[in-house]
Amino acid sequence: MALSGQFVTVVNRTKRELYAKWDGKDFVIPVGESTMPLEVVPYAKRQNPILGTMHPGNPKSVQFLLGVKGTKDPTTPVREDPNEIELINRSKLPELPPGQVYARIRGREVTRWEIAEDNPVVDNQAAVSGD
């Protein structure tokens, strides 16, 4: 896919380089402000989420380490929590009966909507069992 030639200013909100892949090309996003092809931005954002920020009931409600200057995107610096290992925000999960806890599953996040929709791409049994 060819680029349109339009560039936007993006802000890497961290203190480290970020990386993105689009159309087989690797992009390095330096700390602070830089320019990026407009077509690459949505992919770069989705590839660089802030762990622990996705609402469990709405997979589109997530924060990113990358913001676009001049839009509603936040561009202020963020500090990543080194203890976060998953995308979902566990504080927003529904309460469980006493003695029960949600299991943490490392690897690809499987959201409640994927399981509820009986999505053919997701092996629901593996998602529940953690395999």
Q: What is the DSSP string of 10-66?
A: EEE-SSS-EEEEETTEEEEE-SEEEEEEGGGHHHHHHTSBPTT-BBTTBTT---BSE
pLDDT at res. 101: 74
- Could you report the per-residue pLDDT of 91-109, keeping only the tens digit for each? 888 887 787 777 766 665 5
Portion of the chain with pLDDT greater than 90, in percent? 46
In order of 25, 67, 95, 110, 124, the CA distances from 127 in angstroms are 31, 31, 20, 7, 5
Q: Tokens 């997701």: give the residue.
A: 122
124 or 13, which is more confident: 13
Q: How does residue 72 score in pLDDT terms, banded at 50, 70 and 90?
A: very high
Residue 40 CA, chain-centre distance (Å), reads: 15
Residues 25 and 3 sit within 8 Å (Cβ to Cβ): no
Is pLDDT of 80 > 60? yes
* Structural domain boundaries in the chain: 7-68, 90-129
pLDDT of residue 124: 44
Give the residue carrying structure tokens 């998602």. 127
Amino acid occupying residue 122: V
By three-state DSSP, how is residue 87 classified?
coil
Which residues, at least 6 apart from 18, have a Cβ–Cβ distance to it below 8 Å?
A: 12, 28, 29, 44, 48, 65, 66
